[in-house]
Structure 1
Amino acid sequence: MKQDYFISKNKRLLNVEGIQQFIASSYWGKDRTLNEVKLSIENSYCFGIYTKDNEQIGFARVVTDYIYFGYFMDVIIFDKFQGKGYGKILIEAMLEDPTIKSLKTLALKTKDAQQLYERFGFDKIGDSALWMSVDKQILE
């Protein structure tokens, strides 16, 4: 895929209304309001992926303490861009981000994307059908 996109952490570029509509119709964010989405974006470390014409392709956010733990949430690719590899590109960029890369533990919940996240080193937590993590912290 030629580089026909860019990734930004600039929250002013986000299509908040589009993000809210997508999330509110998802299984994990059913009926989430615009105000709730705005507040969650305000309080998270966010990533957007865009076309060269600034149309938003996808979005993801990480709830983090910026030292030890990060929780991947609301990882989305808008319908018209799905199936083109943008989800993998976005997750890879998140994992390569210096702030995220320095975290000791990453976690997420997913009902239907375990295979995608396994490619990036996430493992199932216990016998949970939803929880996955990457744990770089060695406990002795």
Structure 2
Amino acid sequence: MGDNLHISTDKDQLDLALIHDFLSTGSSWAQGISLSTVRRSIEHSLCFGGYVGSGQVAFARVISDFATFANLVDVFVLPAHRGKGYGKCVVDAVMSHPHLQGLRRFTLATFDAHELYARHGFTTPVRPDTLMEIYRPGIYQSAP
């Protein structure tokens, strides 16, 4: 499982065009996101690229202060490479990264990958009544 996958946090290795294409056209959560927004999000995050040979096939991004809080976002494996355990490998790399240890809260949102994240200890919020959000699901389609 994932034997051919190499994971790196080196942003210089990331295929920005591939990431943008997937997020803007292939994801359910970032349809229409601009290249400049993807670029800015990567600049300000800890990113994990998954590579088979020299080609990128997976991605994950973590927003964190590296002391108390982190939020895992934009996790994907390209459709042609799914079913090989690459998603598990990427999340394993995220969860074992030294800068993401000892955090008080680690969050994420998922539509359909609950099982993948549950194996790492993610659960529904213990006190959902204490959480609030501003959620704008169509923001990228309406952006100028």
Same fold (TM over 0.5): yes
Q: For residue 27 of structure 1, what is the aligned residue in structure 2?
A: 28
Is the contact between residue 47 and residue 60 of structure 2 (CA under 8 Å) also seen in structure 1?
A: yes
Q: For residue 113 of structure 1, what is the aligned residue in structure 2?
A: 113
Q: Over residues 45-78 of structure 1, what are the superposed CA-to-partner deviations in whole Å (9 max), with x where a residue is unaligned?
A: 1111111x22101010100011000000100111
- State the alpha-carbon separation in 1 of the partners of residues 21 and 83 from structure 2: 20
Amino acid at match of 1:30: Q
- State the alpha-carbon separation in 2 of the partners of residues 118 and 61 from structure 1: 18
1:39 aligns to what SS in structure 2? helix
- State the alpha-carbon separation in 1 of the partners of residues 126 and 102 from structure 2: 24
Is the contact between residue 2 and residue 85 of structure 2 (CA under 8 Å) also seen in structure 1?
A: no
Q: For residue 136 of structure 1, what is the aligned residue in structure 2?
A: none
- The percentage of aligned residue pairs carrying the same residue is 36
TM-score by length of 2: 0.83
Amino acid at match of 1:96: S
- State the alpha-carbon separation in 2 of the partners of residues 63 and 74 from structure 1: 11
- State the alpha-carbon separation in 2 of the partners of residues 36 and 92 from structure 1: 26
TM-score by length of 1: 0.85
Q: For residue 45 of structure 2, what is the aligned residue in structure 1?
A: 44
Amino acid at match of 2:29: W
Q: Which has the higher helix share?
A: 2
Structure 2: unaligned runs, 5 residues or longer: 132-144
Q: For residue 139 of structure 2, what is the aligned residue in structure 1?
A: none
- State the alpha-carbon separation in 2 of the partners of residues 63 and 9 from structure 1: 13
Q: Which has the higher strand share?
A: 1
Count of paired positions = 128
Distance verdict in 2 for CA 1:105–1:126, change over 3 Å: closer
- State the alpha-carbon separation in 2 of the partners of residues 30 and 126 from structure 1: 30
CA RMSD of aligned residues (A): 1.7
Structure 1: unaligned runs, 5 residues or longer: 132-140
